[in-house]
A and B are shown apart, each in its own frame.
Chain A
Amino acid sequence: MRKLVSTGAVAALAMVPALAFGEQASPASASSAVQVAAVTPEMQKLIEAAQKEGKVEVILSGQVPRKLREAMPEFEKKYGVKVNFQTGSGRKHAERILAERRVGRFTIDVWLGGANTALVQLVPNKALASFPELLVDPDVKDQSKWYKGKHHYTDPEHRYIFTWGASPAYNISYNTKMVKPDEIKSYHDLLNPKWKGKIVSWNPSAQGTAASSVPMFLNPKLGETWFRRWANEMKPVIVTDARQAAEWVAIGRFPIGLFGTATQAEVLASQGFPVAGWMPHPMAEGEVLSASAANLMAMDRAPNPNARNLFLNWALSKEGQALFIKIGEKTDSLRRDVPNNTIEAQYRIDPKGDYYVPFSDPQYINQQDEIIAKLKKIMSEAGYR
């Protein structure tokens, strides 16, 4: 009887947002279009255990995860489990959490954020739990619903860092009054002497740009040679602030911005500046899917293990993913049955697109540090520290 009441309550709670708000009124409206799957006994058991724990401790680090704060009330409403979230620098959270764990304190259940910190700090310290075993919902476990028919993990063992979203990577921003998109169809066009001294960029060896620069380094059509020529021959101006770089492109101080300037350029474009953050055509060297911070991780020795597992299953459900991409705005879900018309076309994954998928490439995962070190050397030899 109690089980029946509980199941009914869950279903009713799931419908509340859809009934209470119109399509535009709440992020939750994304879930209104999604049918809630039937709850299996195993899931029901998990819900009840999670409700007994009452709360889940979540880290939201990085741009997209920070926005996902707005999604948390939906989980709370649906399951009656409180989400205590912390935002801020993933690196700082990692340092603190690892120090805590060393003295036997286990305070975090779930981590949403960038893969790099997790790969370098959390995985080697065995701070993450093996993910596949924690998936209970048959709908989430079904890999056929995901991009290329599989779950994607950005770690060498394919079990700790679940990558749930991605979008085509845009590395170039440009002033629309100074550059015609046709002038840049290939990255090799950026080596044209006419752009010498006219490119402003973030340092490609900086952590914030690695997701863009490392795939380019691994691309046999570009590789080390391209970076050496770019740094030495084109004399780019390197800055440490993407906003500063994008503003300089927007006001025409530099016609082209590279590495990490695209997001800011799009904000500027929306404010009426003559700048664009993405090329209207794919680059000749091929397109890359970038996961950015769209990763989900389960902490090992979580203080609320059932609430953690429930959160993971909810986050990867069709409903959770629809909510995540609507709120995240610039990331498409790798779960292919999720309607992606809530995000702009340039961020959607084209089902027919031929993308290089770095987060599924062992070479990318295993050699990232090595490549960043090489990029640092190239930049240093060209006089950029």
Chain B
Amino acid sequence: MTSAPIAAPPSRRFQWPAAGTFVMMLLILFFGFYIIYPIALIFIQSFNAETVVLGKYELSLINWQKAFTEPGTLESLWNTVFVYVAYTAVAFPVAVLISWVLARTPIPFSRGLEFMFWVSFMLPGLTTTIGWTLLLDPYFGFINVAFKGLFGTDMVLFNIYSVEGIVFAHLMGNAISQKVMLLTPAFRNMNVALEEAGRVSGAGRLRTMLRITLPVMVPPMVVVLMLNTVRMFNSFEIEQILGTPIKFYVYSTRIFNLVREAEPPLYGEATALASLTLIIILLFIPLQRWLLARRQYTTISGSYKPGLIHLGVMQPFAFAFVALVVALLTVVPVLTLLGGSFMTRAGFFQATPTYTLAHWQTVFADPIFFRALSTTFIISISTAVVSPVLFSMVAYILVRRAWRGRAVLDSIFWFSAGIPGMLSGLGLLWVILDTPGLNWLFGTIWILIIVAILQGKLTSIQMFKSTFLQIGQDMEEAARTSGAGWLYTYFRIWLPLIAPTLVLLGTLNFVLAAGATSSVILLASRDTVTLSLLALEYMTTNVGAAREVAGIISLVIVAMTAGIALVARWFGFQVGVRDRGI
């Protein structure tokens, strides 16, 4: 009889946790402090019966009660959801189609057309909406006036002051362009071998797209849809301009009014209303995990073969469709901005004199302008360089490392979307001022840089995650096996593969940093005013009187961003994987 070997008693000696645990702990502590702490402060204040400005505290549910019993709350919530579903139902499939055409087919000027979607995204939403009102106002809009004159009718072709008009304005704003911008690089990562296999099996182009391409594109598409949904309550400008005259009120306008219109600002009620986003997030986090865990989405592996699919006779039509959408998304707002900047009153040819250089003179004579330009450039360029590198590393850890705590870290990023910028900005101000060791940052450009870098965290991390999910592990393993170190592997394997996403998110974060207002308005000092804050001041302090001046400042931001984006894209093409037509 042989006795079973006696297992050695478990060692009672202390074992240091793996290095990964420390890294994860640090990340959770850092981002938790930066993201969750300000939100928690704002939430605590929502249970305060006293207004925030008085600095007193009286525990109460009154803000929550008031927020949800105010007449019209449910109606405005329904209106928001209705408008969101309506424009997303159009924008999402259109954006997927355009991204696929741009990335997977040999369409002429593909890169140029893609860049125009970026330009559309850079244009301020308010300007785009105002531009369309000049065309589609039922009374004086150019298109409607021409229609009436041409057909001798009193009817209008399209009234922008309507629910359909609001949906249309969203589509012409960022609803399509942002999705195309985010999805096209993901479609470029598609392995043409998979599509070729489908075609060899007898599937047509449409069937290949529906059965092969789209299913493996689930991660980026889900992420884009979720990112838009959690920000459903952030949009208010279009509804405020087009909805108020027809008594169409949305939820986000109510939040905006509580913070920006009420005196003193009613942060408690606004937080209560905004908290609905947290419920959406709580539903989304497990949904995303389930979706992504269902199957493998690798499209780039050692056998990765970039390439394009020709659409045959449909190719010119595809080009015409994309070109038409680009024209709609960019021509009107650019003409409104640029043309309007030389008019005494943008869009009004009756004004005397009709044309003027006065608005440009106002901008260049403003003593703050050049200082704001320099501040904006420093903040935005720092953001464009640091944020893609930082967030690609965090996303890499979330996707590629099996360290404990990943779910917590990922959830922290999702929760950052729980409170709109106009609320979290105040929480951040409290954190910066109240934290010893941090308060020296207040009033310096450093705090604005940090805020700007971290502003694009959710979109950046989720987009990088979906990119990493597309890339197979075999190439990294092959490089490591061949003796390549981490840095060499990063530059020779990872960088070329994620270059399009790096460039995209660098540019996106540059745009966000240059246009940031809510998140930085309380942190900027006299010496660190940015261009977007200056534009906001021209728009608001003068009760909209200086819209043309604000437009010129926006143009400067767009020109600066477009210039940087062009350089970044050129750099991205140099280091990235090139396409070859088939």
Asked if A219 is at the interface (CB within 8 A of a chain B CB), the reply is no
Q: Are A244 and B139 CB-contacts (below 8 A) given A94-B53, A207-B263?
A: no
Q: Is the CB of A268 within 8 A of B345?
A: yes
Q: Is the CB of B429 within 8 A of A207?
A: no
Q: Which residues of A contact B (CB under 8 A)?
A: 61-63, 66, 84-89, 91-92, 94-96, 98-100, 102-103, 105, 116-117, 120-121, 124-125, 200, 206-208, 237-244, 247-248, 251, 253, 260, 263-264, 267-268, 271-273, 380, 383-385
Q: Is the CB of A264 within 8 A of B544?
A: yes
Please report the C-alpha to C-alpha distance between residue A248 and residue B352 in the assembled complex, in whole angstroms: 17
Residues from chain B with a CB closer than 8 A to the CB of A63 are: 541-543
Q: Is the CB of B245 within 8 A of A239?
A: yes
Please report the C-alpha to C-alpha distance between residue A88 and residue B249 in the assembled complex, in whole angstroms: 28
Q: Are A91 and B263 CB-contacts (below 8 A) given A237-B245, A253-B140, A268-B345?
A: yes
Please report the C-alpha to C-alpha distance between residue A99 and residue B245 in the assembled complex, in whole angstroms: 37
Please report the C-alpha to C-alpha distance between residue A124 and residue B522 in the assembled complex, in whole angstroms: 21
B interface, size bucket: 35 or more
Kindly identify which residue among B55, B525, B547 contacts A243, using a CB–CB cutoff of 8 Å. Answer: B547
A168 vs chain B, min Cβ distance (A): 19
B315 vs chain A, min Cβ distance (A): 44
Q: Is the CB of A121 within 8 A of B53?
A: yes
Residues from chain B with a CB closer than 8 A to the CB of A253 are: 139-140
Q: Is the CB of A240 within 8 A of B240?
A: yes
Asked if B386 is at the interface (CB within 8 A of a chain A CB), the reply is no
Kindly identify which residue among A61, A117, A271, A383 contacts B345, using a CB–CB cutoff of 8 Å. Answer: A271
Residues from chain A with a CB closer than 8 A to the CB of B345 are: 247, 268, 271
Residues from chain A with a CB closer than 8 A to the CB of B241 are: 240-241, 244
Interface residues as binary, B351-388 with A (CB distance below 8 Å gives 1, 0 otherwise): 11000000000000000100000000000000000000
Q: Which 7 A-B pairs rank lowest in CB-CB distance, beginning with the nearest?
A: A272-B352, A243-B544, A271-B351, A385-B249, A253-B139, A86-B526, A121-B53
Kindly identify which residue among A87, A98, A238 contacts B541, using a CB–CB cutoff of 8 Å. Answer: A87
Kindly identify which residue among B263, B348, B537 contacts A116, using a CB–CB cutoff of 8 Å. Answer: B263
A57 vs chain B, min Cβ distance (A): 8
Q: Is the CB of B533 within 8 A of A88?
A: yes
* Max chain B C-beta neighbours (<10 A), residue from A62, A92, A98, A100: A92
Asked if B430 is at the interface (CB within 8 A of a chain A CB), the reply is yes
Q: Is the CB of A125 within 8 A of B54?
A: yes
Q: Are A240 and B244 CB-contacts (below 8 A) given A271-B345, A385-B72?
A: yes
Please report the C-alpha to C-alpha distance between residue A61 and residue B526 in the assembled complex, in whole angstroms: 13
Q: Is the CB of B350 within 8 A of A125?
A: no
- Closest B residue to A88 by CB, please name it: B537
Q: Is the CB of B351 within 8 A of A89?
A: no
Q: Is the CB of B526 within 8 A of A120?
A: no
For residues 420 through 447 of chain B, which have their beta carbon under 8 Å from a beta carbon of chain A? 426, 429-430, 433-434, 439, 442
Q: Is the CB of A102 within 8 A of B55?
A: yes
Please report the C-alpha to C-alpha distance between residue A240 and residue B544 in the assembled complex, in whole angstroms: 10
Please report the C-alpha to C-alpha distance between residue A105 and residue B265 in the assembled complex, in whole angstroms: 22
Asked if B104 is at the interface (CB within 8 A of a chain A CB), the reply is no
Other than the known A206-B261, A241-B544, A273-B351, what 19 A-B pairs have Cβ atoms closer than 8 Å?
A63-B542, A86-B526, A87-B537, A87-B541, A88-B533, A91-B265, A94-B53, A95-B53, A99-B429, A116-B263, A125-B54, A200-B245, A238-B245, A238-B247, A240-B241, A243-B543, A247-B348, A267-B545, A383-B247
- Closest A residue to B161 by CB, please name it: A237
Asked if B71 is at the interface (CB within 8 A of a chain A CB), the reply is yes
Q: Is the CB of A95 within 8 A of B545?
A: no
Q: Is the CB of B547 within 8 A of A84?
A: no
For residues 286 through 314 of chain B, which have their beta carbon under 8 Å from a beta carbon of chain A? none
Please report the C-alpha to C-alpha distance between residue A248 and residue B529 in the assembled complex, in whole angstroms: 34
Please report the C-alpha to C-alpha distance between residue A97 and residue B433 in the assembled complex, in whole angstroms: 11
Please, could you name 25 A-B residue pairs with CB atoms under 8 Å apart, sorted by A? A66-B541, A88-B521, A89-B537, A95-B53, A96-B522, A99-B430, A100-B442, A103-B439, A105-B433, A116-B263, A120-B53, A120-B264, A121-B264, A125-B53, A206-B261, A242-B544, A263-B543, A264-B543, A264-B545, A271-B345, A271-B351, A272-B351, A273-B350, A385-B72, A385-B247
- Closest A residue to B432 by CB, please name it: A99
Asked if B540 is at the interface (CB within 8 A of a chain A CB), the reply is yes
- Closest B residue to A271 by CB, please name it: B351
Residues from chain A with a CB closer than 8 A to the CB of B80 are: none
Please report the C-alpha to C-alpha distance between residue A105 and residue B443 in the assembled complex, in whole angstroms: 12
Residues from chain B with a CB closer than 8 A to the CB of A380 are: 71-72
Q: Is the CB of B543 within 8 A of A98?
A: no
Please report the C-alpha to C-alpha distance between residue A81 and residue B537 in the assembled complex, in whole angstroms: 27
Please report the C-alpha to C-alpha distance between residue A247 and residue B343 in the assembled complex, in whole angstroms: 15
Q: Is the CB of B254 within 8 A of A385?
A: yes
Q: Is the CB of A120 within 8 A of B541?
A: no
Residues from chain B with a CB closer than 8 A to the CB of A206 are: 261
* Max chain A C-beta neighbours (<10 A), residue from B263, B264, B433: B263
For residues 313 through 361 of chain B, which have their beta carbon under 8 Å from a beta carbon of chain A? 344-345, 348, 350-352
Asked if B411 is at the interface (CB within 8 A of a chain A CB), the reply is no
Residues from chain A with a CB closer than 8 A to the CB of B254 are: 385
Please report the C-alpha to C-alpha distance between residue A272 and residue B345 in the assembled complex, in whole angstroms: 11
* Max chain B C-beta neighbours (<10 A), residue from A121, A268, A383: A121
For residues 512 through 541 of chain B, which have their beta carbon under 8 Å from a beta carbon of chain A? 521-522, 525-526, 529, 533, 536-537, 540-541
